[in-house]
Amino acid sequence: MTIQVRSVSLAKYSAIARELGIDPVSMLRHVGLDPSCLLTPDLRIPEVSLANLLDASSKTGDSRSLGLLMGESWRLSDFGVLSLLLQHQPTLRQALLEFKHYRHLLSDSVAVDITEHQQVAVVQCALVTGRTHPGRQPMELAVAALLSLCRHQLGPDWMPRRVHFAHAAPPSTLIHQRVFGPYLEFGSDFDGLVLGKEELDRHRALSDPNMARYARDFIDLQPRGQAQKVSHAVHRAVHLLMPRGRHTIEQVAQHLGVSTRTLQRQLAEESANFQSLVNDVRREQALRLIEGQAHSITEVAQMVGFAETSAFSRWFGQQFGVSPSRWKKD
């Protein structure tokens, strides 16, 4: 399946690119996109084309934070058909749950999840792309767009307690600090925002349950297009859960809201194997973490689900033909 996203990001790209002295039409043609996509926010375009566009553009001039600048300009209306529904949710928790439920209307790639601790909550964002690295530009765009949803619910001046990125820190973080505040952590084991646990359920007085119901009914009338495969949903869920060590079939089934037996049956109907899906995600995450140079081999082993570094090294050698230490050096 070709992973697709809404073309609304291209409108953001066009405005920022022109400010940076980049010709957006020429760049779209360079990566094989039709320039007419700049004028229509609800087209579906290949995610890899958007990633290639941002990567190519970020290498020209002073545009290394292109994705972040696009995310900084993100507004609630940019969530398209979901905007009215998100606007009238009483709490951030409910807004995030609605976003998770209908995220297929925005992107086949993005996945969001909430983890609660004693005093804080983590809103994790993952991009499932099929590539080893989703790319710094798309990830910073996604996390900044997520920030815009949080600020709609919690106030325009709200700042997260901490912002995490799995990629390494860029040479300058001035724009990051302007957008996200001073508490940034790069080379982390996840991408996302940390906030106070109580902020998830802070009531927003301007929400209207009747308008939310109307928006949901309207959205449910929209054609869903091609049905999502269960194996794709499992792949996305394992991407989110593996860094927390919660990627057994029972835990993934719970995350997807089905029983373990139902999930096994659905995967069998697609001739898919749960352990093979886990292994695919483990391969992707292991390469990303090792090539990121921010973690030791022991840390990478733990982050992809191995209790012993020696077992991870044997598995890595079987998968890629070299040891993880040799891959890291090369």
Whole-number Å distance between alpha carbons of 65 and 55: 10
Q: Name the residue ranges covered by the structural domains of the chain.
A: 67-201, 230-329
- pTM, rounded to two decimals: 0.85
Please check whether residue 127 is in contact with residue 109, taking contact to mean a CB–CB distance below 8 angstroms. Answer: yes
Cα(62)–Cα(20) distance, integer angstroms? 7
Per-residue pLDDT tens digits for 5-15: 999 999 999 99
For the chain, residues with pLDDT lower than 70 are 1, 61-62, 223-227, 293, 330
> Do 208 and 138 meet the contact criterion of CB atoms below 8 Å apart?
no
Residue count (the chain): 330
Q: Which two tokens stand for residue 103?
A: 């995220």
- Per-residue pLDDT tens digits for 189-210: 899 999 999 999 999 988 999 9
Residue 113 CA to residue 134 CA, distance in Å, equals 18
Instruction: State which CATH number among 1.10.760.10, 1.10.10.60, 3.40.50.720, 1.10.8.50 fits the domain covering 230-329.
Output: 1.10.10.60
Cα–chain-centroid distance for residue 29? 26
Nearest Cα residue to 328 out of 302, 304, 303, 294: 294
CA distance 249 to 129: 22
Please give the structure tokens belonging to residue 195: 């906030």
The closest of 67, 49, 63, 82 to 12, measured between CA atoms, is 67
The two tokens of residue 217 are: 């009914």
Q: What pLDDT, in 10s, does the model give residues 26-60?
A: 999 999 999 988 888 889 999 999 999 999 998 87
**5 beta partners:** 45, 107
Residue 281, C-beta contacts closer than 8 angstroms, at least 6 positions apart: 235, 238, 239, 242, 247
Question: Angle, nearest 10°, between helix axes 260-269 and 230-241?
Answer: 130
**HSE of 190, CA atoms in CB hemisphere, 13 A:** 24
Q: For position 328, what pLDDT does the model report?
A: 77
